[in-house]
């Protein structure tokens, strides 16, 4: 850029519950930091990546106010353009913000957005679809269908647990083959997760040592004998210690392939975007983010 004054592309849903407050906070903090904001109206998910690419040569960074689904929609364009991402957490779960240590308070997040350091994080990919947090097969797909907007509005982040218990009661196991690190593992599972970040599903932890910049994918498969085991397992999922259970299998690697007898949908960061057979890979350091140091 020719000017010393930084320019930021701002994408915020002004109609969202916290939309107007987020706009007020980021405008005030940007003025203090000498950052010029260029607002882009994005009515559809597809508009987000298009707006980033359209402004790639005229801005220095992208500030997005939204939840994990909104950030997921921006991921491919952020990787392609190299523009740093700053997050105003406005979703129900805000798992990527939690993973990166970004304040959930909008005013504090706005301060960080215009003055924080830049670090690089990995990006997961399944069948060409990018994800920040986790991609999964099984229970989480039904969870995405069960977790309505009204449930999120009523229960907030606790809606994830409510929906999970409902889904677990009717979830039937499926058979799959997981290929990773040159080995094949045949499993009977109710949920297979492939994590790139640390948190997902409203604060669940992929693995206790998982990090968004470790160059690895963390994989787990859950084989529950019945729905009654889920409440026992749930606390360890919150802490990422589920791998210690004998009916949870865990691996890690840079490339993973999952096949199932019947075609099954895959959930990426809360949205159903592709199907098995699923080929996963990690793209180390693919995205720049404005966040506290690791």
Return the beta strands (E) in 29-105 as ranges: 35-39, 61-66, 85-89
Q: So what's the pLDDT on residue 19?
A: 77
Give the model's pLDDT for residue 157: 59
The pLDDT value given to residue 6: 95
The pLDDT score that the predictor gives to residue 18 is 78
**What is the pTM (predicted TM-score) of this model?**
0.86
Beta carbons of 53 and 79 less than 8 angstroms apart = no
Contact 198, 99 (CB under 8 A): yes
Burial degree of 184 (CB within 10 A; 0-12, 13-18, 19+) = exposed
Q: Which of 247, 246, 250 is nearest to 225 (CA)?
A: 247
For CA atoms 270, 274, 275, 280, the dihedral sign is negative
> What's the pLDDT score for residue 223?
83
Question: pLDDT tens, 117-147?
Answer: 999 999 999 999 999 999 999 987 777 665 6
Q: Specify the pLDDT at position 1.
A: 45
**Cross-strand partners of 188:** 175
Report pLDDT digits (tens) over 70-89.
999 999 999 999 999 999 99
One DSSP character per residue, 209-272 reads T--TTSS-EEEEEE--SSTTHHHHHHHHHHHT-GGGSTTEEEEEESEEEEEESS--EEEETTEE
pLDDT at 5: 85
Crossing angle (nearest 10°) for helices 158-170 and 139-146 = 120
How far apart (Å, rounded) are the C-alpha atoms in residues 125 and 131?
6
Structure-token pair, residue 182:
């040159």
Taking 70 as the pLDDT cut, the residues of the chain under it are 1-4, 14-17, 144-170, 224-234, 236-238, 241-245
Q: What is the model's pLDDT at position 162?
A: 62
Q: How many CA atoms lie within 13 A of 285 on its CB side?
A: 2
Rounded to whole angstroms, the Cα distance separating 144 from 68 reads: 13
Strands (E) in 13-84, as ranges, are 35-39, 61-66
Among 291, 286, 254, smallest CA distance to 123 is for: 286
């Amino acid at each position: 850029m020719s000017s010393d004054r930084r320019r930021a592309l701002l994408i915020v849903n002004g109609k969202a519950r916290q939309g107007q407050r987020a706009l007020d906070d980021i405008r005030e903090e940007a003025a203090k930091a000498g950052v010029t904001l260029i607002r882009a109206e994005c009515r559809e998910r597809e508009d987000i990546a298009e707006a980033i690419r359209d402004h790639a040569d005229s801005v220095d960074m992208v500030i997005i106010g939204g939840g994990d689904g909104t950030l997921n929609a921006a991921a491919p364009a952020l990787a392609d353009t190299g523009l740093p991402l700053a997050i105003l957490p406005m979703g129900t779960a805000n798992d990527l913000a939690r993973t990166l240590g970004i304040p959930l308070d909008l005013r504090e997040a706005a301060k960080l957005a215009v003055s924080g350091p830049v670090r690089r994080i990995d990006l997961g990919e399944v069948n060409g679809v990018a994800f920040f947090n986790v991609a999964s097969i099984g229970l989480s797909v039904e969870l995405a269908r069960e977790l309505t907007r009204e449930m999120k509005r009523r229960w907030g982040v606790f809606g994830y647990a409510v929906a999970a218990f409902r889904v677990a009661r009717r979830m039937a196991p499926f058979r799959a083959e997981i290929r990773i690190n040159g080995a094949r593992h045949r499993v009977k599972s109710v949920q297979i997760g492939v994590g790139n970040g640390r948190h997902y599903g409203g604060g669940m932890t992929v693995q206790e040592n998982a990090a968004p910049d470790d160059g690895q994918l963390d994989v787990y498969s859950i084989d529950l004998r019945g729905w009654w085991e889920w409440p026992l397992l749930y606390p360890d999922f919150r802490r990422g210690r589920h791998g210690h259970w004998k009916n949870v299998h865990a691996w890690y690697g840079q490339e993973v392939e999952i096949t199932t007898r019947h075609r099954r949908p895959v959930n990426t960061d809360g949205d159903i975007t592709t199907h098995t057979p699923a080929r996963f890979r990690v793209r180390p350091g693919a995205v720049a983010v404005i966040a506290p140091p690791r």
